[in-house]
Chain A
Amino acid sequence: MKLLVVDDSNVIRSQIKRSLALNDVEIIGDAANGIDALNTFRSQQPELVTMDLTMPELDGLHCIEQIMAINPKTRILVISALADKETAIEALKKGAQGFLCKPFSDTELNEALQELVKDE
């Protein structure tokens, strides 16, 4: 499965890429804001997306909405520092399937992604 990594922090994008240990998941690109994420999403058509929420240009919640409008089968794991329940519920309502709170460990990231792809 093709994965797009979206986060405005280069440190976090690199951490996600380094930590990924799922054999059937291939990272096909990354983006530092919602606009770049949508452009890469349209051109690369990934099945999986990790999505930050607090980003410049276009935030993660709006980006999720637009991704789901393009392809509602996309599986989105939100990875955010926003730790309140309301934000997690809102992200899930907009179409995300999982929520991982920063800071995260390698194990937590892989478990969350595994949960997302297990029915494929």
Chain B
Amino acid sequence: MNEIDEHDLQVFIDGVLHYFTQISNETAEVRIPYLIKDDLILDEYTGMIDISGNHKGMIYYSAPRAMLRHILLSLGENGNDDELYSDLIGEIANIISGNARRKLGSDFNISVPKVIRDEIIHMMDMKVHQFAIPIRWKVYTSSLIIRLH
């Protein structure tokens, strides 16, 4: 099993930047990643991807409803309901995780996304490296959370 390092984190940061540039022609701002040491309160919608293979753990992408509404509009989608927001947050988590295989290789296996609402991640296993990467796009802040070992 490979340990996650700063180069791996950069792969995910690049994926986030690419996603927002592609959907909106507007660059997202990635703030300084930090190690998570306490329980983490997630945003309204969170997409989760199980990782297996050469890394093991979870990737989460968590965002507020208002931001997802704005992303949907950027994609030309005028619908406005929970099902669409859940679909979108799962798809963003899938895209960021799947794009990481360009650098991390095909043994970086990703699951289909699961979606959770308004939850707290409990930091029970402190042996796992857990990073949060704050992402600012337009007036919104979301988080990419990486728990890999």
Inter-chain contact A84/B106, CB cutoff 8 Å: yes
Inter-chain contact A81/B23, CB cutoff 8 Å: no
Complex interface bits, A38-71 against B, C-beta within 8 A gives 1, otherwise 0: 0000000000000000111000000000000000
Inter-chain contact A83/B98, CB cutoff 8 Å: yes
Secondary structure of the A contact surface, majority rule = loop
Inter-chain contact A9/B106, CB cutoff 8 Å: no
A92 within 8 A of B: no
Instruction: Report the contact-size class of chain B (Cβ under 8 Å from the partner).
Output: 20 to 34
A84 to B95 alpha-carbon distance, docked (Å): 12
A116 within 8 A of B: no
Known contacts A14-B79, A80-B98, A83-B99; 8 additional CB pairs below 8 A are A8-B112, A11-B88, A12-B91, A56-B112, A81-B94, A84-B108, A102-B98, A103-B19
- Point out residues on B near A: beta carbons under 8 Å: 18-19, 22-23, 72, 75-77, 79, 83-84, 87-88, 90-91, 94-102, 105-106, 108, 110-112
- Point out residues on A near B: beta carbons under 8 Å: 8-12, 14-15, 18-19, 54-56, 80-84, 86-87, 101-105
